[in-house]
Amino acid sequence: MRHLIIASLLASLPWSLSAAPTWQVISSEPGKRIEIDRTNLKREGTIVQAQGRVVLEKELIDGRSGAGYRVIEAITRYDCTTRNATTIKRIFKKNETDIVREEDIKGAELPVRSGTLDDKVLREVCRPPRENQAELAKKANEAGNDLKAANDAMLKKGLAKAEKPAALKASETPAKEDAIPVPSIRPNLKAAADAAREASPTPPPSPAAKPVAPPPAKAQTYIIHAAPAAKPKKASRPEGYMLELTHSEPAVQHAHIHWGYEGAGAPENWSKLDPQNKACAIGERQSPIDIKDGIKVDLEPIKFNYQPSTFRIVDNGHTVQVQVGEGSISLTGKSYELVQFHFHRPSEEKINGQRFDMVVHLVHKADDGQLAVVAVLLERGNENPFIQTLWNYMPLEKNMPVSPPNAIVDLNTLLPTSRNYYTYMGSLTTPPCSEGVLWLVMKQPVQVSPEQINIFSRLYRNNARPIQPSSGRLIKEGR
């Protein structure tokens, strides 16, 4: 909950009031360089809001405005603890000064993969600031001085005892209160407890308590707490961090209604669970849709750049999600890095009114933050070796990822023989339902066995969002 509060505060900060950016190059690659503005970093705990940009050598054409651009600036919120990133604004520029287009984004929080643009920026902005390092050094020096003083006091006490007559009787030993106290760098918990007992009246004896049955186990949610809840203290009033926890407790209780596909968290309620999910209810370019009545044209082939690699598989409470090694797709001169892929049953999208048994969504992200999702439809048929390898390492528990060291998968083997596809502009199919997502739905389905479908159904019998209105969107179909 604390992270959600911090993220909201950072998002509300007016970017227009920031100082003029001072760009610093952090990475140079063939055809582009990556820069960040260190003067306008906004930090709150482990959350950092940063402005970065990609400067291209060759001009690209903006699909919405039709104008050319060479600079993409992005304002992104990074969580240095979880290594997640959320893009909140993008600016396309023809050059250093001429703006082609700006867009505010209600983006989803996505994991940052090693070697990507976001990874390079995250590593830079998540380094502790120099002033923090100086403060830590100061505290360490103060603790060292206290410890040195304590050691000196102990040495003086020992020398004083050695100089006294050896015939000193035990009864004549100096009283304990005469001993020189040793400064401690730890809090005096005993003194605090004694003070609390003195400040509070002794409660009357209570009758024998009856044994209380433990509460039923709750389903795991994605609420991130800053610290475990502490037992109530007898202090007169909460202060500091405890005050924050006390005030935020009702919001935490409400947040336990997590989004899902049934009950209070079902798709029709997503927009009510979190203000950031409002696009789920009012968006006009939502996904999935029934793909029909498209125009048939000669679409540019998608260039898939996947390599065999190890993988990491997790049941995240909504689906089975997999991350593999480096991979990307290229389309119309633009490259999108593979972030992760996951499964839905049944397929979320329809083709001319027909649903398929399952679908796998391969989520990619470009340097400018735009998402592109490749959808591979799965139909009942022969066993799929790629899927079987994943199922062999299915985690036994939710949110407990498995990374088999010797198992290798090749995403190219999951793709259909024909690479023809449908394409349209839509949204994420899960909260916050962010729009501006490029969808690439493969026309030819891939076969999976009934047993492989049943294995996934044991975990998720239905994790598909209902069909959304197409609202007259243009759909293109490769011919």
Active site residues: 318
φ, ψ for residue 142, nearest 5 deg: -65, -40
φ, ψ for residue 76, nearest 5 deg: -130, 145
Collapsed DSSP state (helix, strand, coil) of residue 441: strand
Residue 152 tokens, joined: 């000196």
φ, ψ for residue 208, nearest 5 deg: -60, 130
What is the identity of the amino acid at 439? W
- Where in 267-310 does DSSP place strands (E)? 290-291, 295-297, 303-306
Distance between CA atoms of residues 199 and 18, nearest Å? 49
Among candidates 72, 77, 117, 105, which has minimal Cα distance to 91? 72
Burial class from Cβ neighbours inside 10 Å (0-12, 13-18, 19+) for residue 212 reads: exposed
| Length of the chain, in residues | 479
Report the 10 Å Cβ neighbour count for 51.
24
Distance between CA atoms of residues 479 and 421, nearest Å? 9
- Which value, in Å, is the radius of gyration of the alpha carbons in the chain? 30
Q: Are 303 and 334 in contact, with CB atoms under 8 Å apart?
A: no
Distance between CA atoms of residues 461 and 96, nearest Å? 51
